[in-house]
Amino acid sequence: MGIPAHREAELLAQVPTGLLIDGEWRDAAGGARFDVEDPSTGKVLLSIADASTEDGALAMDAAAAAQESWARTAPRERGEILRRAFELVTERAEDFALLMTLEMGKPLAESRGEVTYGAEFLRWFSEEAVRVSGRYSTSPDGKSRLLVTKKPVGPCLLITPWNFPLAMATRKIAPAVAAGCTMVLKPAKLTPLTSQLFAAVMMEAGLPAGVLNVVSTTSAGDVTGPILKDPRLRKVSFTGSTAVGQGLIRDAAHNVLRTSMELGGNAPFLVFEDADLDKAVDGAMAAKLRNMGEACTAANRFIVQDTVADEFAERFAARVGAMATGRGTEDETKVGPLIDAKSRDKVHSLVTDALDGGARALVGGAPEEGPGYFYQPTVLKDVAPDARILKEEIFGPVAPIVTFSTEDEAVALANNTEFGLVSYVFTSDLNRGLRIGEKLESGMLGLNAGVVSNAAAPFGGVKQSGLGREGGAEGIEEYLYTQYTGIADPYAG
Ligand code: NAD
């Protein structure tokens, strides 16, 4: 049982295939198009407009032209557009879920989870839109008044990755709308369809022309490079790899842009001997296999106390080995394909390097026959400390396990990375959990929890995992700047 082919075709027929510029769906200059594939079959789903430098410039013009009136729109009105968008996405949850499964590969149950998570940013920021405030105070010497207000930063360039096609877009678009910023969105070329459909929903929800412009493209740098140099742009918000983020930070220096960077991760997953092992294994399954391991928050290194390592590994491997791979539209599928052949080959090279260095595969350890880019869910034990798999982001369903004996050793292993997005700690001792949390260098911590993402929480990293926060009360601040007005003493004659 799965989704009938005609349902897929009917949904794809509803996805806009143009570029969204100034409220209109247009062809790319010269009519260029590119194909979007299903990673579970390699077959083309849809062909859409492929933006050029020229199209990017038109999108930037539209965002700049709309900025002034959009910033003056009543906060309640902006909030209500977001609220309507939340309702429309929720009504069409099955469409969004299926579309993500088709272009990205994740099982439908996970796509449904992402729709709930992604839509929640629309609801959360619909509420935040009317809560932006400032302050008025008397200066310490009593001779003046200080008025502090918040203003939208202005036109933003938003660049999103392929792994969470809806949530990575709503996490940026919703706070930008709430704050009163206009946008040029450049989705990932591997999964642009969800953004295309979402942009149509935003227009249906009442977003004025020019506020959100969408330029899907196969030439990311050609489109975004000139936009980053445009003096009318005020901010770039990026989610993706650290290497690309570093290049964008360099480009952003040109006009000293505000930047938000959600970059790569190398999350440690610490299991102490006092942990409830059932809960630790449940947490490990979620932290590792959600999204086929293709998540910046995916547990990348399992660091387990030596006294419980064998038992944890055995139970975890039994659960991982039972995870059926397959097309995400099939009911029995628990793990979908990786996004492309390059990603699958990279995962396999990390596994091969670990096995060559003495690791043992308790389960899995190899790619699966095509079509599609499947990799066997894998657990590796006895991984050597210098293995590449402990240093690089795996982005696949592979769990390497290493052991420790003391708390200090666990912390040293966990912090031994240039990344610092999220850490997971499993222990029944709350004091230990809090103590370890204070010592870990990461922007987020899962304490006896394998998933931390929540629209009401500040998501983001430290070290080379990024700058800024998305979601929570902090999320809207990324799209606001502070203006201070000094006022002469109203009592002075
Ligand atoms: P990527 O860096 O290859 O691409 C991300 C986006 O940047 C895509 O839209 C891509 O087209 C665009 N891009 C690539 N080169 C560019 C350039 N020179 N100029 C402008 N844009 C460019 O990353 P990816 O493979 O799509 O996503 C996976 C990465 O994203 C992983 O490293 C993952 O950890 C990270 N990620 C981070 C978070 C987070 O919140 N920290 C969330 C999801 C994914």
460 domain residue, yes or no:
no
Q: Do 386 and 301 share a domain, yes or no?
A: yes
Phi/psi zone of residue 304: left (φ > 0), alpha (ψ -120 to 50 degrees), beta?
beta
Q: Is the confidence at residue 85, as pLDDT, over 90?
A: yes
Same domain? 321 vs 351: yes
Q: What is the mean pLDDT of the chain?
A: 98
Q: What is the mean pLDDT of residues 125-138?
A: 98
Decide if 343 is inside a domain: yes
Same domain, yes or no, for 99 and 230? yes
Residues 184 and 230 placed together within one structural domain of the fold: yes
12, two tokens: 């794809």
Task: State in Å: Cα 137 to ligand 1 middle.
Answer: 43
**Ligand 1 centre distance from Cα of residue 74 (Å):** 33
Pick from 388, 370, 369, 389: nearest CA to 379:
389
Q: Is the CB of 157 under 6 A from ligand 1?
A: no
- Tell me, what's the pLDDT at 253? 98
CATH number of the domain at 401, please. 3.40.309.10
- Name which residue sits closest to atom 8 of ligand 1, judged by CA: 188
Whether residue 461 is contained in a domain is answered as: no
* Residue 296 annotated to the active site: yes
Residues 97 and 79 both lie in one domain: yes
pLDDT of residue 81 exceeding 80, the answer is yes
pLDDT digits (tens, 9 = 90+) for 443-479: 999 999 999 999 999 999 999 999 999 999 999 999 9
Residue 247 Cβ contacting ligand 1 at under 6 Å: yes
Looking at the fold, whether 349 and 437 belong to one and the same domain comes out as: yes
Which atom of ligand 1 is the closest one to the Cα of 221? 19
Q: Is the pLDDT of residue 400 over 80?
A: yes
Together in a domain, 129 and 257: yes
Q: Using a 6 Å cutoff on CB, does residue 167 contact ligand 1?
A: no
Q: Is 458 in the pocket of ligand 1 (CB under 6 A)?
A: no
- Cα separation, 146 vs 168, whole angstroms: 37
Token pair 């499993």: residue: 426
Please state the domain count of the chain: 2
Residue 220 lies in a domain: yes
Assigned domain for 490 exists: no
Domain assignment present for residue 17? The answer is: yes
Residue 39 near residue 337, CB atoms below 8 Å: yes
Statement to judge: residues 358 and 393 lie in one domain: yes
Q: In terms of residue numbers, what domain contains 413?
A: 267-454
Q: Nearest residue CA, atom 6 of ligand 1?
A: 161
pLDDT at 301 over 90: yes
- Ligand 1 atom at minimal distance to the Cα of residue 465: 41
377 & 321 share domain: yes
CA 332 to centroid of ligand 1, rounded, Å: 30
pLDDT at 1: 67
Q: Is residue 493 part of a domain?
A: no
Q: Is 240 in the pocket of ligand 1 (CB under 6 A)?
A: yes
Residue 225 lies in a domain: yes
pLDDT of residue 370: 84
Q: What separation in Å is there between the alpha carbon of 187 and the centre of ligand 1? A: 10
Q: Is 419 in the pocket of ligand 1 (CB under 6 A)?
A: no
Q: Does 156 qualify as catalytic in the annotation? A: no
Q: How many CB atoms lie within 10 A of CB 113?
A: 18
Q: How confident is the model at residue 2 (pLDDT cuts 50, 70, 90)?
A: confident
Q: Is the pLDDT of residue 269 over 90?
A: yes
187 and 280 fall within a common domain:
no
For 314-354, what is each residue's pLDDT tens digit?
Answer: 999 999 999 999 999 999 999 999 999 999 999 999 999 99
CB-ligand 1 contact for 239 (6 Å cutoff): yes
> Is 295 found in the same domain as 178?
no
- Supply 103's token pair: 């272009």
Same domain, 54 and 87: yes
pLDDT tens for each residue of 141-167: 999 999 999 999 999 999 999 999 999
CATH of the domain at 82: 3.40.605.10
Indicate the pLDDT class of residue 357, thresholds 50, 70 and 90. very high
Q: What pLDDT does residue 493 have?
A: 75
% of the chain beyond a pLDDT of 90: 99
